[in-house]
Structure 1
Amino acid sequence: MAGATQIDTIELKSTPVLAKVFAGAVASSRGRTGKAGLPDLKVRQTGVTIDVNALADYDHVCGFPLLNELPITYLHNLVFPLQATLFADKRYPFPLMGSVHLSNRLTQHRPVLLSEELTLETWAENARPHRAGVQVDVLSQAFVGSELVWEGLAVYLYRGQKIAGEVPAKVDTGDGVEGPGAIWRLPGDLGRRFSRVSGDVNPIHMSGLSAKAMGFPTAIAHGMWSQAAMVAALDARLPAAYVTEMEFRKPVNIPGTVTFVAHPGGQDGSWEMSLRNLKKGTELVRGSVRALS
């Protein structure tokens, strides 16, 4: 939160009920135009412990083994209620409903153990123009004591919103890795299944009918399910400390069939990944893993 002179902090005593938070965010969405700018506002929760049953359910939906170490994407799952609290606050200028998760970068400084107690923090910064609206960086951190163990940077797009500034030109980044891969058949209830373990009940993920009401032709998988499933497919090959980045390039329609492609990048534990439409070969999600030195 560079340049902030005073930061207001929302201290959560317990994990909020996301259905209530979403309902409040939806009810207050009308009239949020972004004109006031992002507030110097942080959400913090201390004393966070892991519910083993909730973790097991998450691992089952995403394909992780149940281990004594938390999946890197599960830390995002833990901070998501803080993000939702931030989005629902009346000082946050952009509407939650209809927002799109463009990309995600997660950093694991060391494995986080199931038994460790966490402090979580989330805030937003760097609102800037996008050709389809406004994009915002939502940053999150997890600490064990005073030790920073995990970081997240999620970029959200608020479609149809406007903000002062020059819209950056679209950059052609070429195509990602391709070739033979694992074929994944995604069921129509995948969005509902992931919503139950993540709390993200955005209508674009829940059913074709609710997705159409939000301007999408069909339901789409959560970006965080895609990232989790792609990382889970490499679980046994991941370094202890690493960064994984995902760019959600096109919607992953559900039901549907996709191909997961992963190529090793060398001896440093790095990987390049793609999730592609099986029939057309279109790249839907581009990802990478890079070991921290």
Structure 2
Amino acid sequence: MPAPLDRMPRLGPLYRAAALRRAVAADPVLPERELTVEAVTVDRAHLAEYNRVCGFRLRDELPATYLHAVAFPLAMALMTAPDFPFPVLGLVHVANRIELLRPLPSSAAFSVSVRAGALRPHDRGTQLDVVTTATIDGNPVFSDTSTYLRRTGSGASAASARPAAEPPAPNAVWRVPRRVGTDYAAVSGDRNPIHTSRLLAKVFGFPRTIAHGMWTKARCLAALEGRLPDSYTVDVAFKTPILLPATVGFTAVAQGGGWDYGVHDGRSGRPHLTGTVR
């Protein structure tokens, strides 16, 4: 069901709604609305800051991950609505897929839509997808699928219980400063306190603040900049959080015309993220 909006929602009221929401629907059903904003244009100063934080060069084309940040207020509006079945602060971002169908010119006007779907059981709870699409003059150019997990148990999965495999030798070693959490929160709008407040991160079970998963994905694509085609699909699975500050290893291996890439802990070798570009 289309639900057009005049402009991107303001995040302040949405965060207040998220903070107040605690109840989980007894019989979860996802809303059928698709929130849409027409004629979305790029703020060049914001783009420059996003590129700085994530490591991209300044270009006339948008990074593949940029529209995820642009559409974040729409996703929050959908996920904090009274008929959304889960509190947004209880959802864990476990995977993301971006399909870039053509280069995204920074001068374009985009129609951006967000919807939720694919509610399904998982061995640790329930999963769902939040799907963002963008068009230029009615033609699809971008799709972003974020998979979220609503945990219903505290037990670790079999995969996380296994010892970490020996990681490959990194192509690069990144020192990730504590400010990455607050810097990416400012450019993405994602101000979840687990990324910005050490005290509140501890409330949610983390010893320190953690890096945003989408920052880590963007940083990986920035490292591959200049070696990617005009259109591609980039998948990522978020494994373990990066506790800030951190030293991590980045690995990329050319594979079948694309790339297999990953980020792992610089000491333990435990993976933070694994992904592919095809």
Residue 80 in structure 1 maps to residue 68 in structure 2: no
Which residue pairs with 1:211 in the alignment? 201
Residue 12 in structure 1 maps to residue 5 in structure 2: yes
Q: Given that residues 261 and 274 in structure 2 are in contact (C-alpha distance below 8 angstroms), is that contact kept between their aligned partners in structure 1?
A: yes
What TM-score do you get using the length of structure 1 for normalisation?
A: 0.88
Q: Given that residues 118 and 144 in structure 1 are in contact (C-alpha distance below 8 angstroms), is that contact kept between their aligned partners in structure 2?
A: yes
For 1:11-90, list aligned pairs within 5 A: 11-27=4-20, 29-33=21-25, 35-90=27-82
Q: Given that residues 166 and 269 in structure 2 are in contact (C-alpha distance below 8 angstroms), is that contact kept between their aligned partners in structure 1?
A: no
Tell me, in whole angstroms, the C-alpha distance in 2 between the residues paired with 1:142 and 1:127.
22
For 1:127-146, list aligned pairs within 5 A: 127-146=119-138
Which residue pairs with 2:244 in the alignment? 254
Aligned-CA RMSD value: 2.0
SS at match of 2:65: helix
**Compared with structure 1, are the counterparts of its residues 71 and 34 closer, same or farther at alpha carbon in structure 2 (3 Å cutoff)?**
farther
Amino acid aligned to 1:287: G
Unaligned runs of 5+ in 2: none
Deviations 1:84-115 (A, max 9, x none): 01001111111011321100000100001011
Tell me, in whole angstroms, the C-alpha distance in 1 between the residues paired with 2:76 and 2:220.
24
Unaligned runs of 5+ in 1: 1-6, 162-168
**Compared with structure 1, are the counterparts of its residues 283 and 21 closer, same or farther at alpha carbon in structure 2 (3 Å cutoff)?**
same
Structure 1 residue corresponding to 2:83, chosen from 83, 87, 91: 91
SS at match of 2:147: strand
Q: Share of identical aligned residues, percent?
A: 37
Q: Given that residues 136 and 157 in structure 1 are in contact (C-alpha distance below 8 angstroms), is that contact kept between their aligned partners in structure 2?
A: yes
Which residue pairs with 2:275 in the alignment? 287
Q: Given that residues 165 and 270 in structure 2 are in contact (C-alpha distance below 8 angstroms), is that contact kept between their aligned partners in structure 1?
A: no
Which residue pairs with 1:231 in the alignment? 221
Amino acid aligned to 2:82: K
Which residue pairs with 1:189 in the alignment? 179
What TM-score do you get using the length of structure 2 for normalisation?
A: 0.93
**Compared with structure 1, are the counterparts of its residues 34 and 118 closer, same or farther at alpha carbon in structure 2 (3 Å cutoff)?**
farther
Instruction: Report how far residue 36 of structure 1 moved.
Output: 3.8
Q: Given that residues 98 and 214 in structure 1 are in contact (C-alpha distance below 8 angstroms), is that contact kept between their aligned partners in structure 2?
A: no
Amino acid aligned to 2:9: P
Instruction: Report how far residue 175 of structure 1 moved.
Output: 5.9
Instruction: Report how far residue 64 of structure 1 moved.
Output: 0.4
**Compared with structure 1, are the counterparts of its residues 175 and 117 closer, same or farther at alpha carbon in structure 2 (3 Å cutoff)?**
farther
Residue 242 in structure 1 maps to residue 235 in structure 2: no
For 1:87-166, list aligned pairs within 5 A: 87-160=79-152
Q: Given that residues 167 and 269 in structure 2 are in contact (C-alpha distance below 8 angstroms), is that contact kept between their aligned partners in structure 1?
A: no
**Compared with structure 1, are the counterparts of its residues 122 and 159 closer, same or farther at alpha carbon in structure 2 (3 Å cutoff)?**
same
Deviations 1:173-208 (A, max 9, x none): 996972232111111121111000000011111122
Instruction: Report how far residue 284 of structure 1 moved.
Output: 1.0
Deviations 1:113-153 (A, max 9, x none): 01110001111111122233221111110000110000011
